[in-house]
Structure 1
Amino acid sequence: MDYKVVDLDDVPITDLSEIDGIPPTLDIKPIGDQLGLTQMRATVWYFQPGEEIQYHAHREQEELYFVMEGEFSLKLGKSGEEEYVDAGPGTFWVAEPKIGHGHRYVGDDEGVVLSIGAPPVEDPGLDPHSLDE
């Protein structure tokens, strides 16, 4: 594949609450799957008020986030050094491997975040308080 173009409106929504063992129970659009990505993951996440991705880390994966819509409260940093940061539309943030990160939607309507992670390995969320440096 040299290139591929996909309109976000054409990507079907996946309801994570219907998949056993995969928290959180949010709606996503797996745009990376639609584009056939092999070197990274790309997902659009949809949040209702109060929904969150809990504070976690990955052993190998680096993640980049972009707020498309809504207001979020971010929890970022190594265990014991976490900081809280407000993030609105147009905000980017990144979490390197072994760095804790999580975000909670604090807006009133729907919140939308694009996440891009690489490498695209199965790298489940880990408790940042238990990672060895």
Structure 2
Amino acid sequence: MTAEDAEYEAVVVDDAEREPSAVSGTMHVDLVSELGCTEMRPKVWYLSPGDEMSFHRQDVQEELYYVVRGPGRLRVGDEVRDVEEGTAIRVPPETPRQILNDTDDEHDHVWLVVGAPPVEDDGLPPTDDSDASA
């Protein structure tokens, strides 16, 4: 296949429209729709100071978390850890997780999160007896 024959989609993420998550209200760019993804569910999340995503686990999706601009903060199970800019973390479906910006930093923390397989509405409460949701 030559470069002229290659099919691909591209988007300048900072120019794409941001929308709030239906559950947490956290602003994000849905790269699934922007790029026409069919085998993964990528989104770029913008966490302003005080923002946090819902604490959740997945049914079948494993997720890749990458700190584009940080530092980042990630709760995995009972542990909250600092995540340096440029760091990638894989979280299996059954592990509860949450990204948050509970720092004194005045800037947005920006994360690329990619879930696969591309299952919609895959988020679950962190435990079977919890009332939290993704």
TM-score (norm 1): 0.81
Q: CA deviation at 1:54?
A: 2.6
Q: CA deviation at 1:124?
A: 3.7
1:60 equivalent in alignment to 2:60:
yes
1:101 equivalent in alignment to 2:97:
yes
Higher helix share: 1
Partner of 1:19: none
Whichever of the two has the greater Rg, that structure is 2
Q: CA deviation at 1:74?
A: 1.4
Partner of 1:3: 8
Structure-2 change in CA distance of 1:9 and 1:84 (3 Å): closer
Q: CA deviation at 1:33?
A: 1.2
What SS does the corresponding residue of 1:3 show, helix, strand or coil? coil
Query: Contact between 1:11 and 1:31, CA under 8 Å: does it hold in 2?
Result: no
Q: 1:45-87 CA distances to partner (integer Å, 9 max, x unpaired)?
A: 111111111321011111101111122321113xxxx322111
Q: Percent identity?
A: 34
Which AA in structure 2 matches 1:100?
P
1:126 equivalent in alignment to 2:124:
yes
Q: Which moved more, 1:102-111 or 1:121-130?
A: 121-130
Query: Contact between 2:76 and 2:95, CA under 8 Å: does it hold in 1?
Result: yes
Please report the RMSD computed on the Cα atoms of aligned residues, expressed in angstroms. 1.8
Q: 1:12-41 CA distances to partner (integer Å, 9 max, x unpaired)?
A: 11133xxxxx21111111122111100101
Query: Contact between 2:60 and 2:122, CA under 8 Å: does it hold in 1?
Result: no
Q: Which moved more, 1:53-62 or 1:82-91?
A: 82-91
For structure 2, which runs of at least 5 residues remain unmatched after alignment? 1-5, 130-134
Query: Contact between 2:67 and 2:88, CA under 8 Å: does it hold in 1?
Result: yes
Structure-2 change in CA distance of 1:9 and 1:75 (3 Å): closer
Aligned positions of 1:1-133 closer than 5 A: 2-16=7-21, 22-77=22-77, 82-105=78-101, 106=103, 107-130=105-128
How many residues in Structure 1 have an aligned counterpart in Structure 2? 122
